[in-house]
């Protein structure tokens, strides 16, 4: 006689996710077998986000905490360290990606690796599979559902990847420069053939100085770059200063709109999922830079 199986409760595993991109991924992979709590809402900067007392309690009581890693969530270090003692499984999305595929930061940055892995769709597919594998191990009874959900999501991401590549063809090769507020798009650049320049480093806490603004203004003139972008989770003031500096050199540059960098947008903005967020970004970029 088979012993009664331990029934998972209706709500399934309780999962806490740090960024909104990861909460979306967890929803897609976990489906009906998980309850996902996301800690950071639209427009929240994860480099700078300080977990509240209630966040810490939520993480401590969860079955699983999913986070990006590579020091994106800089202020969570102590909480993350305490999770295993409490029997909480940590799933680190970056660990689904081979270390040799991590991008190295600029030499003047204090981060070891560039944490913005989600801007390579192939990397995000690997991260998705990693989350599915870890959830399957934690909750073997629902493993086939996690694997099936991941398969479907990875297929949707395949379509997104194809859309990005197709739209980029509209931008002349000599115009493939992406100038933004902070250096979140290096994985995008490497994957899709753009040169990417961020006014601030990988970490939004390092301030851009007037020297940086002046150097980048010269670069805009030299490369005839006419459009730059602000980011939803970073103050636009540096980009505005850059536009002004280029203007004083007689080079007109437009603010070509807002990109989502380190957080998803809202439902009103039609950017509340990773796929919608990326679609919005690529449309903003291509519409500004195409001939
Ligand atoms: Zn960032």
Kindly report the CATH class assigned to 13-164. alpha beta
* Cα–ligand 1 centroid distance for 76 (angstroms): 15
pLDDT in tens, the chain (291 residues): 444 444 444 569 999 999 999 999 999 999 999 999 999 998 899 999 999 999 999 999 999 999 999 999 999 999 999 999 999 999 999 999 999 999 987 655 667 899 999 999 999 999 999 999 999 999 999 999 999 999 999 999 999 999 999 999 999 999 999 999 888 999 999 999 999 998 887 777 666 777 889 999 999 999 999 999 998 878 888 899 999 999 999 999 999 999 999 999 999 999 999 999 999 999 999 999 997
* Cα–ligand 1 centroid distance for 115 (angstroms): 7
* Cα–ligand 1 centroid distance for 80 (angstroms): 19
CB neighbours of 134 closer than 8 A, spacing ≥ 6? 64, 89, 91
Give me the residues near ligand 1 (ion), CB cutoff below 5 Å.
Answer: 184, 262
* Cα–ligand 1 centroid distance for 104 (angstroms): 14
Angle between helices 121-138 and 143-168 (to 10 degrees): 180
* Cα–ligand 1 centroid distance for 205 (angstroms): 9
Nearest CA-CA partner of 42 in 280, 282, 281, 262: 262
pLDDT at 8: 45
CA 281, CA 262: separation in Å to the nearest integer? 12
Radius of gyration of the chain, Cα coordinates, nearest whole angstrom: 20
**What backbone phi and psi angles, to 5 degrees, belong to 255?**
-80, 110
* Cα–ligand 1 centroid distance for 184 (angstroms): 5
* Cα–ligand 1 centroid distance for 141 (angstroms): 36
Q: Find the distance separating the first CA and the last CA of the chain, reported in whole Å.
A: 71
Partners of 227 in the β-ladder? 254
* Cα–ligand 1 centroid distance for 46 (angstroms): 7
Same fold, 13-164 and 169-289: yes
* Cα–ligand 1 centroid distance for 120 (angstroms): 14
For 91, the token pair is: 């799933």
CA 111, CA 197: separation in Å to the nearest integer? 17
CA 178, CA 187: separation in Å to the nearest integer? 12
156 close to 275: Cβ distance less than 8 angstroms? yes
Domain 169-289: give its CATH superfamily: Nitrogenase molybdenum iron protein domain (3.40.50.1980)
158 close to 125: Cβ distance less than 8 angstroms? yes
For 41, the token pair is: 């809402």
Residue for token pair 């050199």: 249
* Cα–ligand 1 centroid distance for 261 (angstroms): 7
Q: Where are the domains of the chain?
A: 13-164, 169-289
pLDDT at 10: 55
* Cα–ligand 1 centroid distance for 182 (angstroms): 7
Nearest CA-CA partner of 188 in 125, 234, 120: 120
* Cα–ligand 1 centroid distance for 55 (angstroms): 21
pLDDT at 11: 61
Q: Environment class of residue 3 by beta-carbon count within 10 Å: exposed (0-12), middle (13-18) or buried (19+)?
A: exposed
Residue for token pair 């063809």: 169
227 close to 289: Cβ distance less than 8 angstroms? yes
pLDDT at 105: 75
């Amino acid at each position: 006689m088979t012993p009664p199986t331990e029934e998972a409760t209706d709500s399934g595993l309780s999962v806490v996710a740090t960024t909104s991109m990861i909460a979306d991924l967890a929803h897609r992979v976990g489906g009906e077998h998980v309850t996902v709590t996301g800690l950071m809402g639209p427009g929240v900067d994860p480099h700078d986000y300080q977990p509240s007392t209630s966040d810490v309690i939520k993480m401590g009581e969860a079955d699983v905490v999913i986070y990006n890693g590579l020091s994106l969530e800089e202020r969570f270090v102590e909480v993350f360290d305490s999770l295993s003692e409490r029997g909480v499984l940590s799933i680190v999305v970056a660990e689904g990606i081979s270390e040799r595929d991590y991008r190295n930061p600029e030499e003047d940055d204090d981060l070891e690796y560039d944490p913005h892995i989600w801007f390579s769709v192939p990397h995000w597919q690997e991260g998705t599979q990693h989350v599915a594998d870890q959830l399957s191990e934690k909750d073997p009874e629902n493993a086939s559902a996690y694997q099936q959900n991941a398969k479907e999501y990875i297929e949707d991401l395949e379509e997104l990847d194809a859309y990005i590549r197709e739209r980029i063809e509209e931008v002349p090769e000599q115009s493939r420069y992406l100038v933004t507020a902070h250096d979140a798009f290096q994985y995008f650049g490497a994957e899709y053939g753009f040169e990417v320049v961020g006014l601030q480093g990988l970490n939004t806490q390092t301030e851009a100085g007037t020297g940086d603004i002046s150097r980048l203004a010269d670069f805009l003139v030299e490369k005839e770059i006419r459009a730059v972008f602000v980011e939803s989770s970073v103050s636009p003031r540096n980009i505005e200063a850059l536009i002004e500096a280029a203007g004083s050199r007689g080079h007109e540059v437009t603010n070509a709109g807002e990109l989502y960098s380190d957080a998803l947008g809202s439902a009103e903005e039609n950017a509340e999922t990773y796929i919608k967020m990326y679609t919005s970004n690529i449309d903003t970029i291509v519409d500004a830079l195409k001939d």
